[in-house]
């Protein structure tokens, strides 16, 4: 059976602040583990007033503290923004606090705009060192050698599992070469899904962490009691994409009855292309859509993005998705 996990965006809305968004993420994790979800991840985003997970390791600690069994991790840390040594210290500490529950997904994009890139003192060439940085990080998380002069304390020996994130062939190739699990972001970048999966699976080299390819695939899923209500709830995400194209990113907006009154034909075309890997509807609709997606991709795990405005509606959506896939 294909495992289900969640990507939590830690959305700030017109009715919530950053603290409430973080508390809602923790509450979602506590419910999701009861419904059988395997993991919940948050992502590193900067200079986005509508997303409260910029300090990703701290957000992970907050979420993990409110749950007991679900794995909590980064989906992901944008490694070129950081020294691998520092990330090893942070995630090794998380692993000591929540043993056996921490994941570390790694991406090479900045996770922000060019203004914030400069504010972070990020080198323009930092992403070119991504493969080497991944291996350096992996070494810091491994047991320290007797003569090792620099040790990531308390990370050494924790062996926090690494994932490679991607939306192109680059991440697929690297994950295969290093023998790491691969998470593809088809929930916003669907075009390269099939080629990337083919590359990853055909070129995979077994490693100490993983003996066979393991692919987790992102997909937008919004469930409600009826197809009509689910489509209405989905307008929050659709408006977020339209605002992104307008360079007017802000907090999440409540759903509206007719999305056609909000976006232009061009914005609609752009958004629907990026959101092509989406399933929206009742439990029956979701079951049919996800079964077809799994049959097409042979996904080992689905990373569900259920981007809703109201927290209770999101809890209901996540519960319905789990129920749909069990029946």
Query: Which ranges of 109-214 would DSSP assign to H, the alpha helix?
Result: 114-119, 130-141, 169-178, 193-203
Cα–Cα nearest to 305, from 189, 173, 168: 189
Dihedral Cα 239, 63, 214, 100, nearest 10 deg: 180
Mean pLDDT of 295-307: 98
φ/ψ of 83, rounded to 5, equals: -75, 130
State yes or no: pLDDT of 111 exceeds 70. no
Q: What is the predicted pLDDT for the residue at 239?
A: 97
Mean pLDDT of 284-293: 98
Say how many residues make up the chain: 327
Helix (H) or strand (E) holding 216: strand 215-223
Q: What is the Cα–Cα distance from 192 to 206, expressed in whole angstroms? A: 24
Q: What is the predicted pLDDT for the residue at 112?
A: 67
What is the pLDDT confidence band of residue 122, given thresholds at 50, 70 and 90?
A: confident
Q: What is the Cα–Cα distance from 81 to 101, expressed in whole angstroms? A: 24
Q: What is the predicted pLDDT for the residue at 225?
A: 97
φ/ψ of 65, rounded to 5, equals: -70, -20
Q: Tokens 């900067």 map to which residue?
A: 46
What average pLDDT is seen over the chain? 95
Superfamily covering domain 3-326: Luciferase-like domain (3.20.20.30)
Q: What is the predicted pLDDT for the residue at 48?
A: 87
Q: What is the predicted pLDDT for the residue at 241?
A: 95
Mean pLDDT of 26-35: 98
What is the pLDDT confidence band of residue 116, given thresholds at 50, 70 and 90?
A: confident
pTM of the shown model: 0.95
Q: What is the predicted pLDDT for the residue at 39?
A: 98
φ/ψ of 213, rounded to 5, equals: -60, 145
Pairing of strands 301-305, 215-223: parallel
Three-state secondary structure readout of 225-269:
CCHHHHHHHCHHHHHHHHHHHCCCCCCECCCCCCHHHCCCHHHHH
Mean pLDDT of 51-78: 97
pLDDT, one tens digit per residue, over 144-158 is 999 999 999 999 999
> Cβ of 292: how many Cβ atoms within 10 Å?
11
Tokens of 327: 């029946």
pLDDT, one tens digit per residue, over 187-227 is 999 999 999 999 999 999 999 999 999 999 999 999 999 99
pLDDT, one tens digit per residue, over 162-195 is 999 999 999 999 999 999 999 999 999 999 999 9
Lowest mean pLDDT among 65-74, 76-85, 108-117, 176-185: 108-117
Q: What is the predicted pLDDT for the residue at 152?
A: 98
Q: What is the DSSP letter of 179?
A: T
> Cβ of 278: how many Cβ atoms within 10 Å?
21
Share of the chain above pLDDT 90, in %: 91
Coil, helix or strand at residue 51: strand
What is the pLDDT confidence band of residue 125, given thresholds at 50, 70 and 90?
A: confident
Q: What is the predicted pLDDT for the residue at 115?
A: 80
pLDDT, one tens digit per residue, over 249-286 is 899 999 999 999 999 999 999 999 999 999 999 999 99
Q: What is the predicted pLDDT for the residue at 121?
A: 75
Q: What is the Cα–Cα distance from 54 to 62, expressed in whole angstroms? A: 13
């Amino acid at each position: 059976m294909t495992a289900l996990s969640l990507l939590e965006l830690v959305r700030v809305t017109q009715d919530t602040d950053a603290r409430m968004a973080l508390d809602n993420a923790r509450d979602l994790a506590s419910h999701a583990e009861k419904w059988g979800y395997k993991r919940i991840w948050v992502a590193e985003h900067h200079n986005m007033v509508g997303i409260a997970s910029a300090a990703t390791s701290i957000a992970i600690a907050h979420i993990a503290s409110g749950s007991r069994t679900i794995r909590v991790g980064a989906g992901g840390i944008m490694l070129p923004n950081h020294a691998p040594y520092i990330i090893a210290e942070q995630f090794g500490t998380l692993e000591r606090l929540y043993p056996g529950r921490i994941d570390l997904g790694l991406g090479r994009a900045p996770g922000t705009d060019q203004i914030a890139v400069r504010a972070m003192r990020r080198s323009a060439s930092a992403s070119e060192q991504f493969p080497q940085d991944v291996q350096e990080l992996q070494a810091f998380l491994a047991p320290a050698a007797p003569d090792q002069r620099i040790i990531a304390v308390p990370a050494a020996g924790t062996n926090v599992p690494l994932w490679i994130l991607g939306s192109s062939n680059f991440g697929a190739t690297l994950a295969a070469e290093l023998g790491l699990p691969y998470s593809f972001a088809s929930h916003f970048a669907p075009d390269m899904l099939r080629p990337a999966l083919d590359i990853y699976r055909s070129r995979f080299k077994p490693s100490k962490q993983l003996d066979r390819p393991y692919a987790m695939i992102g997909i937008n899923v919004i469930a409600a009691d009826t197809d009509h209500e689910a489509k209405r709830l989905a307008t929050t995400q659709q408006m977020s994409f339209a605002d992104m194209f307008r360079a007017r990113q802000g907090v999440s907006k409540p759903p509206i009855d007719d999305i056609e009154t909000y976006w232009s034909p061009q914005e609609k075309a752009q958004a629907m292309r990026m959101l092509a890997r989406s399933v929206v509807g009742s439990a029956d609709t979701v079951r049919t859509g996800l079964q077809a997606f799994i049959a097409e991709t042979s996904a080992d795990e689905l990373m569900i993005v259920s981007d809703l405005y109201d927290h209770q509606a999101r809890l209901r959506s996540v519960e319905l998705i789990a129920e749909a896939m069990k029946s």
